């Protein structure tokens, strides 16, 4: 999710072969942890009383979560004036009686843990000094891996697909527990994670490694574990949001820039898409986030699921029995804005069954639209009350109403602690997957001089540093997502002065990034020993048959590069197994590497 189109898109991938991979793949789960306290249909009397004492304007404000710009609650920022008509984040909160505030890197509000904690306290003071006097939900989408809003020194983890390769519910829960605990220490109390989408389509441009797996059972098991990890009781955890209902996994379109259509039948939905949502709800997920997708065989209205009563009320509430908060995905995304005005969209979302309205394109217009709908009778005030009660009940259950503030002086004791970093490294060490070792070159017993090249300035530098720290003379030479012929020639020339070339690929299967494949082929043809490493989707490994050694990391974070260095140099053995099949691009309908594949020694 994001605010402006240029900010929203992290990658728009091309098309590729779609594969459905169903069934199998679960290792022994061990004893499951009990579900944390959750939002349910019985609202606490104190919450009901609070809602009844609020004005209509205050109640409508509680439905909305949006961003504000500025390093502190009281920092003036020209973007606030342009979008909200006020100067500071505190004024945005107060003017619109906001129920929630969401952070992004581009909002100038995420710098370091202590600053984030001070910002959280400042906007909470603003909320409590407004007419509603209700603390805020403060959120981000810290999924880890590809979608990581808060970087170091916060503990970094490799993300969902890597956890799928590790196959451990305990690791999924621990990853979420680390993330949620650090967010809470910085004053955030809601995380729009995890993605429960089952990535059955390798051409998916918006989910990919954000998914745990193409296997519904594995995705369900790990989604539920993550929910339990995020939602540690009291002030230790955050509200988790399983997304994107009814399932965004089988599409080759991005709902940020289009309205994807998924042709799953009801039976396919039950088998493929529903399991992670069922299990996350059973685990006590506070929030389910809707997806801006059309599934005609579930609802033939043509409306995106976010605006569909059939999907949100009929399926999610009535069939799956979810009683918590339904959040929309960002209402700025093109997938929800193609058919209706910005004033109509929040009204339609509420009529469909949503509670939390995330990031409207124009906040004043959206609020006026909801107020106008109540005054015209299109929405009843009782309907508004029901959503506000669910939101406030979630705040009560998570301890936000009683303890909205944090201690900035203590934030560094927890965020990025040595214990968390060590645990994150152990988790990541269990995810690296060796796909090919045809020449039996791994582990590298005599790597000699090592060139690290390919996609990612930070990733190539990080891996080179980690290999170099172990003795080999190492050079980093990043070549980017689409290397030019000149960059490829430079890398090949550099490789001739080295004994081993480790080349990182990132979505090389995408035609836009096809020059990466040329780089890999020409390095191999140069005669140097080549180890190819997809640091995002593992699908790249099917595109260059001439390279005999492929290792998948599912992440380019330093923690993943450390695990990769350990595997390459034989410090640990590889234990990851593919959480998705890798299709053969030259033989549609067949797999180059099957689900569950992974070599070890």
Reply yes or no on whether the pLDDT at 112 is more than 70.
Answer: yes
Domains of the chain: 74-92+100-403 (3.20.20.300), 433-593 (3.40.50.1700)
Reply yes or no on whether the pLDDT at 29 is more than 70.
Answer: no
Known catalytic membership, residue 256: yes
How crowded is residue 257: how many other Cβ atoms within 10 Å of its Cβ? 16
With beta carbons less than 8 A apart as the criterion, state whether 496 and 514 touch. no
With beta carbons less than 8 A apart as the criterion, state whether 484 and 515 touch. yes
The mean pLDDT value for 231-236 works out to: 80
pLDDT digit string, tens, across residues 435-479: 999 999 999 999 999 999 999 999 999 999 999 999 999 999 999
Q: What pLDDT score does 16 carry?
A: 32
* Rounded distance between C-alpha atoms, residue 261 and residue 539, angstroms: 23
The mean pLDDT value for 102-118 works out to: 97
Reply yes or no on whether the pLDDT at 1 is more than 80.
Answer: no
Of 397 and 7, the one with more pLDDT: 397
Q: What pLDDT score does 41 carry?
A: 60
With beta carbons less than 8 A apart as the criterion, state whether 416 and 157 touch. no
Q: What pLDDT score does 298 carry?
A: 96
- DSSP string of 24-41, one letter each residue: -------SPPPPPP---S
**From residue 456, how far is each of 489, 505, 538, 544 by CA, in Å?**
18, 8, 16, 19
pLDDT digit string, tens, across residues 498-522: 999 999 999 999 999 999 999 999 9
pLDDT digit string, tens, across residues 148-175: 999 999 999 999 999 999 999 999 999 9
Q: What pLDDT score does 40 carry?
A: 55
Q: What pLDDT score does 275 carry?
A: 98
Q: Quote the mean pLDDT of the chain.
A: 92
* Rounded distance between C-alpha atoms, residue 117 and residue 395, angstroms: 18
- Residue 6: both structure tokens together: 């240029």
The mean pLDDT value for 324-342 works out to: 94
Bridge partners, residue 243, by sequence: 195, 289
Check: pTM over 0.85? Answer yes or no.
Answer: yes
Q: What pLDDT score does 235 carry?
A: 66
Provide the pLDDT confidence category of residue 178 given band limits of 50, 70 and 90.
very high
Reply yes or no on whether the pLDDT at 567 is more than 80.
Answer: yes
Question: Could you give the 3-state DSSP secondary structure of residue 281?
Answer: helix
Known catalytic membership, residue 597: no
Q: What pLDDT score does 38 carry?
A: 54
With beta carbons less than 8 A apart as the criterion, state whether 27 and 218 touch. no
Question: Could you give the 3-state DSSP secondary structure of residue 165?
Answer: helix
Q: What pLDDT score does 259 carry?
A: 82
Residue 486, burial from CB neighbour count under 10 angstroms (0-12, 13-18, 19+): exposed
- 348's enclosing H/E stretch is helix 344-352
Active-site choice (329, 429, 537, 556) = 329
pLDDT digit string, tens, across residues 196-220: 999 999 988 789 999 999 999 999 9
Active-site choice (103, 244, 256, 292) = 256
Task: Fill in the DSSP letter of residue 327.
Answer: E
């Amino acid at each position: 999710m994001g605010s402006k189109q240029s900010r929203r898109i992290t990658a728009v991938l091309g098309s590729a072969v779609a594969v459905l991979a169903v069934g199998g793949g679960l290792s022994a789960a061990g004893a499951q942890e009990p579900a944390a306290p959750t939002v349910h249909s019985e609202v606490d009397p104190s919450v009901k009383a609070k809602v009844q004492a609020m004005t209509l304007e205050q109640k409508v404000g509680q439905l909305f979560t949006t961003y504000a710009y500025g390093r502190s609650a009281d920092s003036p920022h020209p973007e606030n004036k342009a979008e909200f008509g006020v100067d500071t984040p505190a004024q945005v909160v107060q003017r619109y009686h906001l129920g929630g505030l969401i952070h992004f890197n581009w909002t100038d509000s995420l710098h370091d843990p202590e600053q984030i904690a001070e910002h959280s306290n400042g906007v909470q003071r603003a909320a409590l000094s407004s007419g509603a006097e209700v603390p805020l939900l403060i959120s981000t989408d810290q999924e880890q891996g590809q979608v990581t809003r808060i970087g170091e020194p916060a503990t970094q983890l490799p993300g969902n697909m890597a956890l799928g390769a590790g196959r451990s519910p305990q690791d999924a829960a621990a990853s979420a527990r680390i993330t949620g605990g650090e967010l809470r220490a910085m004053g955030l109390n809601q995380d729009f994670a995890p993605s429960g989408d089952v990535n059955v389509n390798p051409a998916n441009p918006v989910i990919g490694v954000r998914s745990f797996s193409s296997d519904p059972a594995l995705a369900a098991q790990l989604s539920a574990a993550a929910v339990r990890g995020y939602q540690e009781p009291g002030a230790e955890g955050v509200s988790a949001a399983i997304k994107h209902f009814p399932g965004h996994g089988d599409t080759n379109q991005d709902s940020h820039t289009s309205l994807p259509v998924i042709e799953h039948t009801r039976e396919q939905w039950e088998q493929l898409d529903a399991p992670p949502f069922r299990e996350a709800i059973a685990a006590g997920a506070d929030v389910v986030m809707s997806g801006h997708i059309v599934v005609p065989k579930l609802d033939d209205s043509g409306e995106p699921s976010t605006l569909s009563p059939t999907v949100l009320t009929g399926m999610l509430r009535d069939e799956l029995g979810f009683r918590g908060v339904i959040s929309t995905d960002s209402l700025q995304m093109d997938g929800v804005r193609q058919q209706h005005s910005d004033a109509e969209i929040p009204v339609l979302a509420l009529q469909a069954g949503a509670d939390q309205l995330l990031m409207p394109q124009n906040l004043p217009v959206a609020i006026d639209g909801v107020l106008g709908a109540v005054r015209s009778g299109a929405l009843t005030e009782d309907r508004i009350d029901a959503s506000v009660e669910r939101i406030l009940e979630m705040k009560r259950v998570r301890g936000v109403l009683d303890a909205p503030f944090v201690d900035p002086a203590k934030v560094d004791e927890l965020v990025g602690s040595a214990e968390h970093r060590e645990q994150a490294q152990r988790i990541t060490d269990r995810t690296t997957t060796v796909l090919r070792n045809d020449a039996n070159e791994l582990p590298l017993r005599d790597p000699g001089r090592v060139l690290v090249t390919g996609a990612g300035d930070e990733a190539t530098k990080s891996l080179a540093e980690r290999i170099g720290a172990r003795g080999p003379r190492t050079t980093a030479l990043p070549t980017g997502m689409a290397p030019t012929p000149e960059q490829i020639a430079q890398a090949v020339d550099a490789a001739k002065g080295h004994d081993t070339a480790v080349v990182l690929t990132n979505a090389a299967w995408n035609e836009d990034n096809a020059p990466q494949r040329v780089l890999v082929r020409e390095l191999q043809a140069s005669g140097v020993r080549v180890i190819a490493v997809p640091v995002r989707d593992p699908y790249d490994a099917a595109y260059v048959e001439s390279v005999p050694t492929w290792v998948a990391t599912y992440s380019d974070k330093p923690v993943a590069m450390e695990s990769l260095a350990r595997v390459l140099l034989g410090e640990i053995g590889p234990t990851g197994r593919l959480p998705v099949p890798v299709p053969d691009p030259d033989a549609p309908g067949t797999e180059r590497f099957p689900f569950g594949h992974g070599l070890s020694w």
